A and B are shown apart, each in its own frame.
Chain A
Amino acid sequence: MLINGYKYTNEQDAIDARKQCADYYGLPVAPEDVTQYWVDYETAELDNPIFWYIVFDSSIEIILGEPTEFEVITEE
């Protein structure tokens, strides 16, 4: 499956990118809130080597910059 987004070769970079987006949007707003992140990262666990990625959304372009296109192996 062709993905438009942000690809990371180690998980910590994906975690850091997720936090950047959450911080930009001020999440969580209150301690009791369910919403912790603005976007989350996915694991391309069927790919070898494994990698991590965040799917593009226009709301995060200002934070993470220009997305790229890459292939991800999925079950369906």
Chain B
Amino acid sequence: MPVILGGNTGIYLASLAPPAPSLLLDTYPNAAVAYSLRKLRTAYSGNCIRVRRSVDNAEQDIAFSGNDLDTASLLTFCGAGNGFVTTWYDQSGNANNSTQATAANQAQIVSSGNLILDPITNKITTTWTTDAYTLTNTITTVQLMYHYMVFNRTSNSSSAAGLSKSNNTFPTMLRWLATLGDMTTRLNSVIIHSTNTTTGSNLVTTLRDGSNVVKMFRNSIDLTTGTSSNIGATFDSWGNANASRNGGNYAELVHWNNDQEANRTGIETNVNTYWNAY
């Protein structure tokens, strides 16, 4: 709270203003990649996303307004038409942006001049139909990994995937199959953590600990675990760039190639406070 000196002199001490709230990656640093429609790290000074507008297919980077996506700039750029995400800029500091060079496979963020809001959370989101994004640099699997994604599984007829291998094999930190509803990880062989055909908003966390135990949590609920010791495989995409690309609404994905298991409650609280996923 500002302090007024001398009663009514009107002089404020700016240095006594409350500190800016800490962002997710300020508290839990050293992520391998971080994509989001919100700002995740105070020191990150780059853009949030790059957008193609439908009226003439021109593209423009969209930055942040405070710690949120600069939606005013986004809507000004898109006008009365549609907007599609060509690039998710990596906020981790590793400059590992993810891009989609094909217009038909780019997620939509503006529809007829309006932001796309998730129907459950009422938060800004991106609608994926047959979409996936390619990482600039591959990420190699290591022993200790922690991954989460915020998304709305809007239909049981589309798959949902986090960091993956684009040729439809492995590794993948999260793949939620269409129709069958299997919630899987695959660091070598497939681990089915749950079978769930429901739709709705999700924060799904997956991790592997130091004992090769692979764990999955859906909306903070512990699912069935499995084991995998495989390391050295490479992720090259967000989503699965094959016939079964992602569907649904996506807002955020962060992956650490280090141990964050002890921080899971704090990370999930931070994420859910912003996105109201559950």
- A residues whose Cβ falls under 8 Å from a Cβ of B: 1, 3, 25-27, 29-30, 32-40, 42, 55, 57, 72, 74-76
- Residues of chain B contacted by A29 (CB below 8 angstroms): 56-59
- Count contacts between A and B, CB distance < 8 Å: 69
Assembly CA distance A76 to B207 (angstroms): 24
The tally of residues in B whose CB lies under 8 Å from a CB in A reads: 26
Can you name 30 A-B pairs with beta carbons within 8 Å?
Answer: A1-B243, A25-B103, A27-B103, A29-B56, A29-B58, A30-B58, A30-B59, A33-B59, A33-B86, A34-B50, A34-B59, A34-B100, A35-B52, A35-B57, A35-B86, A36-B101, A36-B102, A37-B103, A39-B102, A39-B103, A40-B104, A55-B130, A72-B243, A74-B243, A75-B168, A75-B242, A76-B177, A76-B178, A76-B180, A76-B244
- Residues of chain A contacted by B57 (CB below 8 angstroms): 25-27, 29, 33, 35
Assembly CA distance A27 to B57 (angstroms): 8
CB pair A57–B104 under 8 Å, yes or no, is: yes
Pick the most buried of B178, B180, B244: most chain A CB atoms within 10 A of its CB: B244
Pick the most buried of A25, A36, A57, A76: most chain B CB atoms within 10 A of its CB: A76
13 further A-B pairs in the complex, CB-CB below 8 A; given A30-B59, A36-B101, A42-B242: A25-B103, A26-B57, A33-B86, A34-B86, A35-B52, A35-B59, A37-B103, A38-B104, A40-B101, A40-B102, A40-B105, A74-B244, A76-B159
- Residues of chain B contacted by A37 (CB below 8 angstroms): 101-103
